[in-house]
Amino acid sequence: MGVVAVGSAVATIAVAVMAAWAEPELAWRWSHTLELCVAVNGFARIMVVLIPVVAAPVLAYAAATVEEGRTRLLALLLAFVAAMEILVVATDLLVLLLAWELIGAFSWALIGHSWRDRSNGAAAAQAFITTRIGDLGLYVAAGMTFAATGALGYDDLAAVDGGRRHALAAGLLLAVVAKSAQLPFSPWLFAAMAGPTPVSALLHSATLVSAGAYLLIRLAPALEPTGWFLPAVAGVGLATALAGGVIAVLQSQAKWVLAASTSAQYGLMFVAIGAGSTVAAGAQLVTHAAFKSLLFLAAGVAIHAAGSGDLGGMRLGRALPRVAGLSLVGAAALAAIPPLGAAWAKQEIGAAAAHRSTWLLLGVLVAGALSVAYAFRFQLLAFGRGPADDAIGRRVDAQPTPAECWSLGVLAAITVALSVLWLPGSGEVLERATGGELYEAPLWELGVTLGLTAAVVSGVLWAWRTGRLHASTPKGTLAVVADWYGLARLSRVAVVDPTLALSRGLARFDDRVVDAGVRGAERLTRTLSRLAWGRAEWSLDAFVRGLAGAVGLGARGTRRADEQSVDGAVRALAALTLKGAHASGVADDRVVDGAVEGSAWLVGVGGHASRKLQTGQAHHYYALVAVGVVVAAVLLLALSS
C-alpha cells in the first residue's frame, strides 16, 4: 500500500506539472443559475504542484512508521491531498465550499486516527468544531455574493457593493482566520497534535492550515476596496505572529513548539497580504510548506527515539547525527537564515510591512526575532549534542529506517533548492504567478534583520552552553501563556464542551424521543398486527367451523329432505302409480271392457238386425239401395251449400 500511495503522489506531481504548464479550465453547468468552475491559473499553478511534492515524502514516512491502521491512514491522506487539489483549482465559491468541507472532514478523520484512545477523539472534535465555526463565514460570503450578483465566481466578488461587501469581507476573514489558526482560533492546532506525526506534517505545511492563507492570496485583491479589510488582516496576522512566537519559546513539547510556530509563520503571511503583497505571502507559504513538513518528520523521529515528546529528554545529536543535520536545515529556514529561500520570503514580508507602516515593520522584526529563538531552541533541545557522558542523548535504541531518512532528505533538498528565490528574476516570476507585486525593502531593513538574527542566535547558543536552555513545563502564569493565554481552555469551556454537550443532548433526544416514537410505533404496529392476525385467525376458524356446521346441517337437511322429499315423492309417486294402476284397472274393467263388450253387443245387435234384412227378396234390396242414394244426395247438397 505504501508503494501505491507514494506512486499515486508521484503521478499526481507529473499531472500537476503538465496542468500548470497548460493552464486548463473546466466548467460544468449544474443548473440555469449555478456553474462549477475549476482552472489551473494564477497562484494555483504553484500550489497544484507544491501539494503532491510535499505529500509524497510524507506518505513514504507514514508507510514506514505507522503500523496501526496503516492502509486506512494512507487512503485518508491521499483523499485529503485530492480534496486540497480541488480547493486550489476552484474558481468559484461553490466548488471552494465543496472542497472546504472535504478537507475539514478528512482532517477530523486524520487527527482522530487512533480513535480507540478517547482523548484523540475529543481532540479531533475540538479541532473540527473550532474550524467549523469559521466555516460559517465562508457560507455567509457565498450567500452575499450570490445575492448581489446571481453568481459565485471569484471574478464576481468585485461587483458586490454596499453592506453586502462588508458582510462578504467579514465572512471571508472569519473563515480564513479559523482555518489558518490565527487568533482567537489558534488553539485548535494543539488539539490537532493528537494525530500521527505524518498527519501533523501534512496538515501544517501545504494543506489544511495553508487553505486560509491561499484563499486570501487569491481573493484579497478583490476585497481591497473594503477599507477595513486589509488592515484587519494585517492586524490579526501580526498579533498571531507575536503571540505564537512567545508560546513557541515557552513550550516544552516538540510538536507543540512546531504547532505554535505554524500559527506565527502564517501570521506573517497575513501581514504580507494585509500590507498589499500577495507575492511575499505566496513565497512564505511555499517555503514554509517545505521546511515545516521537514521539521515535523524530524520531530517524529526524535519522539520515537526518545519515547516522549518532551524536549527536556532528547538531546539526540550524538545518537541521530544525520537526522540532526537534516533538521538543522529546517530550523535554519524557520529562523530565516540566508541564503535559504525562507529568508528571502521574510525579507519581502518586511519590505511590504515597511511600505505600509513603520510600526508594522517593527512588529515583523520582533516576530522574526522570536522565530530565530524558537527555531534554534527546538533544534538544540531536540538534536543538540550534549556532553559525551550524557545518559539522555545516548539512550536510543530506535534508529530511523532508510525510508524515514529519505523522506527527510527530500524535504531538506527542496528547502535548500528554494534558495533560487535569491536569484535575479525570481521576484518577477512570482509576481506573474500571483498577480501581485513586491516592494523594495529599505536598505536598513536587511542590516537590522541580520543583526537581530545574529544576536538571538548568539543568545540561544550561550544559553545552551551555559546550561540555561531548559525545556521544563511552564507553571503558573507561564502555563496560561503557553496554553494560548487561556484561549485553549476558554474555547473548550465556551465553545467545544457546550457544543459537544448539545450534540450529546440531541443524540439522547433522538434516542429517547424520536427513536422512542419510532420504536413505539413499531411495537404498536406489531401488537395490532398480532391482534389482527389473532382475530383473523379466530374469525377464520370460526368461519370454517361455521361453514363446516352449515355444511353438516345442510347435509343432514339434504339427507332429511332427500329422505322426506325425494323418498316421499318416490313413495307418493309409487302410491300414485298404484292408485293410477288401480284406477286404470277399474277403468279397464269398467270402461274399456265395457266399451269392448258394448261394441260386441252392438255388433251382435247389428248382425242380428242385418240378418233380418237378408230376406232373399230382390225388391227389398232395391229399396235399400234407393234409400241410400237419396241419403247420399241429400248429404252432397248440404255440403255444397
- pLDDT tens-place string over residues 582-618: 655 565 566 556 655 665 566 566 556 556 656 556 5
- The predicted model scores a pTM of 0.79
Pick the more confident residue, 480 or 234.
234
Mean pLDDT of all residues belonging to the chain: 86
pLDDT digits (tens, 9 = 90+) for 32-55: 888 899 999 999 999 999 999 999
Q: Which of 401, 382, 379 is nearest to 392 (CA)?
A: 382
Write the burial class of residue 216 (CB in 10 Å: 0-12 exposed, 13-18 middle, 19+ buried): buried
For residue 363, give every residue at least 6 positions away whose Cβ sits within 8 Å of its Cβ, in sequence order, or none: 238, 241, 242, 271, 353
Write the burial class of residue 484 (CB in 10 Å: 0-12 exposed, 13-18 middle, 19+ buried): buried
- DSSP 8-state code for residue 492: I
Residue 622, pLDDT score: 65
Flag the least confident range among 25-34, 194-203, 355-364, 578-587.
Answer: 578-587
Residue 202 predicted with pLDDT over 60: yes
* Residue 508 vs residues 136, 497, 516, 529: alpha-carbon distances, Å: 26, 16, 10, 29
Residue 163 predicted with pLDDT over 90: yes
Residue 566, pLDDT score: 47
Confidence of residue 169 (pLDDT cuts 50, 70, 90): very high
Other C-beta atoms lying within 10 Å of the C-beta of residue 422: 15
Distance CA 140, CA 154 (A): 15
Mean pLDDT of 404-423: 96
Q: Which of 329, 309, 326 is nearest to 407 (CA)?
A: 326
Confidence of residue 549 (pLDDT cuts 50, 70, 90): low
Flag the least confident range among 440-444, 492-496, 621-625.
Answer: 621-625
Residue 364, pLDDT score: 96
Residue 482, pLDDT score: 84
Distance CA 500, CA 490 (A): 15
Other C-beta atoms lying within 10 Å of the C-beta of residue 336: 27
Mean pLDDT of 250-254: 94
Residue 497, pLDDT score: 78
Beta strands in 495-570 (DSSP E): none
Residue 525, pLDDT score: 76
Distance CA 144, CA 522 (A): 45
Flag the least confident range among 248-262, 403-417, 615-629.
Answer: 615-629
Q: Which of 269, 149, 160, 293 is nearest to 218 (CA)?
A: 269
For residue 335, give every residue at least 6 positions away whose Cβ sits within 8 Å of its Cβ, in sequence order, or none: 371, 372, 375, 376, 453, 457
Residue 289, pLDDT score: 97
